């Protein structure tokens, strides 16, 4: 499980950074990738990355401002040309269906794979046997949402001493037990996964927030998360400006992560006034003064979860 930042700028692209898009690589977990927001130029950022559009399974849109969605029509159209033939689902606030369908219809774009669009207003929006995704309302100029991605607990490791009790040796039966299946031995004895596996391994929790002022929903969304991705559009000396434009400061992001008991904080969505690494450093130091385990999102950097 890895995060890859395709765009970290706020509002408009700059010479240094593109607008918002974040990939969550789940190659070991489900051989696929999820995308969070898709600002203009995201497909160009894909071309500079190790990511493959053919592996894209889901897109989660936080809100309908252009710097978070203007890249969608082009990316959807190009996906098939890059080997993307499997179904793709888009999740987003009400209005995302109209935006996508109208863009594709008026441009006469042909999407030759199954495209599903799920509009939501928070709550549990996806669940299967591996993951649960929950969404909650934030505070921005238009409806904006944060996403909490919860990996379900994974089976524990196989205990060799427990296998020996049943006379089991390495082989195909190992895989079945690891997947949670019971097996029948030649003598008719049934071996259940819990007979040979150690304690379950807790799943990871990742919180990716859309644009927001400080708001109560950030804390439950981020509670105990291994990683929280939070916007930090301004330094706290511009807190009044951040409030006026419905954004957060680096200090406010750190305060939220600390209150939530998060493991790590990654700052993104930087104002263009902070042009390069030198200008971004004060945001990092400001956040670290409250929440030391903070880092800046850097484009085309792969972060292990």
| Domains in the chain, CATH or no CATH each | 2-154+201-304 (3.60.15.10), 160-196 (no CATH)
Of the given ranges (156-165, 223-232, 267-276), which has the lowest mean pLDDT?
Answer: 156-165
129 known ligand binder: no
CA–CA dist 57, 35 (Å, integer): 8
| Tens digit of each residue's pLDDT (9 = 90 or more) over 1-41 | 999 999 999 999 999 999 999 999 999 999 999 999 999 99
More confident site: 187 or 64: 64
Q: Is 80 exceeded by the pLDDT of residue 179? A: no
Higher-confidence position of 157 and 304: 304
Between these two residues, 200 and 104, which has the higher pLDDT value? 104
195 known member of a binding site: no
On whether the CB atoms of residues 305 and 227 are closer than 8 A, the answer is yes
* Residue 291: pLDDT over 90: yes
* Radius of gyration in angstroms for the set of CA atoms belonging to the chain, rounded to a whole number: 22
Tell me: pLDDT of 199 over 80.
no
Residue in 67, 128, 129, 153 annotated catalytic = 67
Mean per-residue pLDDT of the chain: 93
264 alpha-carbon distance from chain centroid: 14
Q: Which of 121, 192, 136 is nearest to 162 (CA)?
A: 192
Binning pLDDT at 50, 70 and 90, where does residue 169 land?
low
Consult the annotation and say whether 236 binds a ligand. Answer: no
Q: How many residues does the chain have?
A: 305
Tell whether residue 243 is among the known ligand binding residues: no
Q: Please indicate if the annotation marks 230 as binding a ligand.
A: no
**Strand, helix or coil at 19?**
strand
Q: What is the arithmetic mean of pLDDT over 210-214?
A: 98
CA torsion, ordered 42, 47, 51, 54, to nearest 10 deg: 90
pLDDT of residue 191: 83
State the pLDDT at residue 303. 97
**143 has catalytic annotation:** no
How far apart CA 130 and CA 97 sit, in angstroms, is: 26
What DSSP character marks residue 203? P
């Amino acid at each position: 499980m890895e995060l890859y930042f395709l765009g970290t700028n706020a509002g408009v692209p700059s010479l240094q950074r593109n607008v918002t898009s974040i990939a969550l690589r789940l190659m070991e977990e489900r051989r696929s990738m999820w995308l969070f927001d898709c600002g203009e130029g995201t497909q160009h950022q894909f071309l500079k990355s190790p990511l493959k559009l053919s592996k894209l399974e889901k897109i989660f849109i936080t809100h309908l401002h252009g710097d978070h969605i203007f890249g969608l029509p082009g990316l959807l159209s190009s996906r098939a040309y890059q080997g993307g033939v499997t179904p793709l689902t888009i999740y987003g606030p009400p209005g995302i269906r109209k935006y996508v369908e109208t863009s594709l219809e008026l441009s006469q774009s042909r999407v030759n794979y199954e495209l599903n669009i799920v509009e939501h207003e928070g709550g549990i929006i996806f669940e299967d046997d591996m993951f649960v995704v929950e969404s909650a309302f934030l505070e921005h100029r238009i409806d904006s949402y944060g996403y909490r991605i919860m990996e379900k607990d994974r089976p524990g490791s196989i205990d060799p001493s427990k296998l020996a009790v049943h006379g089991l040796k390495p082989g195909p039966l190992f895989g079945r037990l690891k997947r949670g299946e019971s097996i029948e031995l030649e003598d008719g004895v049934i071996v259940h996964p819990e007979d040979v596996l150690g304690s379950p391994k807790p799943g990871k929790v990742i919180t990716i927030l859309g644009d927001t002022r400080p708001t109560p929903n950030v804390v439950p969304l981020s509670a105990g998360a291994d990683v929280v991705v939070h916007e930090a559009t301004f330094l706290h000396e511009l807190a009044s400006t951040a409030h006026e434009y419905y954004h957060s400061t680096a200090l406010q992001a750190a305060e939220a992560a600390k209150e939530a008991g998060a493991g790590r904080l990654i700052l993104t969505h930087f104002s263009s006034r902070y042009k390069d690494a030198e200008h971004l450093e004060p945001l990092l130091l400001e956040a670290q003064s409250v929440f030391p385990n903070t880092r800046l999102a850097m484009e085309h950097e792969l972060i292990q979860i």
